[in-house]
Amino acid sequence: MISDPIADMLTRMRNALKARHPKVDVPASNLKTEIARILKDEGYILNYKIVDDANHKAIRVYLKYTTANQPVISNLERVSRPGCRVYVGHKEIPKVLGGLGVNILTTPKGVMTGKSARHEGVGGELLCQIW
């Protein structure tokens, strides 16, 4: 059993990017689907889809590369972990690389980026940072 499924998702994506794989499969959950949706909306991945095999559901994430075959995502970093949760108010949401990266938060209004959480005026659990 995996104790931190979000960290597992980020690690699978990080490893696939280093190996230059076109896609990676991640065990599905609602939270991971929302993270994939945000990554697609922000332009960090090409697409994602839910794959339903006989025994389990998975999220197939299609990774994005530049024309020089360099990954669009430089780094994926887990912030809040099961052993040390990190909660921030809407005024304390940090900017990633001066606004070049993206924070992903879980808020009472759902999973959203740090920018949209600041705009909505809600804080929450800071899940991860991507740049």
Q: Which domain holds residue 33?
A: 5-63
How many whole angstroms separate alpha carbon 116 and alpha carbon 5? 24
Q: Domain end: 23, 42, 63, which one?
A: 63
pLDDT at 1 over 70: no
Three-class SS of residue 33?
A: helix
How far is the first Cα of the chain from the last one, in angstroms, to the nearest whole number? 29
Residue 59 within any structural domain of the chain: yes
In a domain, 34, yes or no: yes
Residue 69 belongs to a domain:
no
Q: Look at strands 45-52 and 57-63 and give their pairing.
A: antiparallel
- Number of domains present in the structure of the chain: 2
Read off the pLDDT of residues 80-123 as tens digits, 9 standing for 90 and up.
Answer: 999 999 999 999 999 999 889 999 999 999 999 999 999 999 99
Residues 56 and 23 in one domain: yes
Query: CA 98 → CA 8, 88, 101, 103, 130, distances in Å?
Result: 27, 18, 8, 12, 12
